[in-house]
Amino acid sequence: MTVKVVEDSNFEQETNTGVTITDFWATWCGPCRMQSPVLDALSGEMDNVKFVKMDVDANPATPASFSVRAIPTLLIKKDGEVVERLTGFHNKEQLANILDKYTD
């Protein structure tokens, strides 16, 4: 699996079923550039989680609706409901452990 790029227009549709993790990021953000390869690696290992990313500069409405004030922010949803929110860089092991809580 790969990390899918989403926009304001399709965010809800892409994250309303199953377990999803959204990476809110920007091209100028150093910690975001560190987080991206971690999500890429996990997306290849965790078939039961959908990985998406959203550029906050190009898509301001969705981050604003979730009060994203710092990036990277990772939003974990299960069946469309936010179950966890993480801010800052998280390594692969940390994220895998957190995501395992929400997968069957």
DSSP for 16-39, written as a single string: SSSEEEEEEE-TT-HHHHHHHHHH
The position carrying tokens 């994220």 is 95
Catalytic residues: 29, 32
Distance separating alpha carbons of residues 16 and 64, to the nearest angstrom = 18
pTM of the model: 0.95
Q: Would you write out the chain's pLDDT as a tens digit for each of its 104 residues?
A: 789 999 999 999 999 999 999 999 999 999 999 999 999 999 999 999 999 999 999 999 999 999 999 999 999 999 999 999 999 999 999 999 999 999 97
Phi, psi of 45 (to 5 degrees): -105, -25
The predicted structure's pLDDT at residue 1: 72
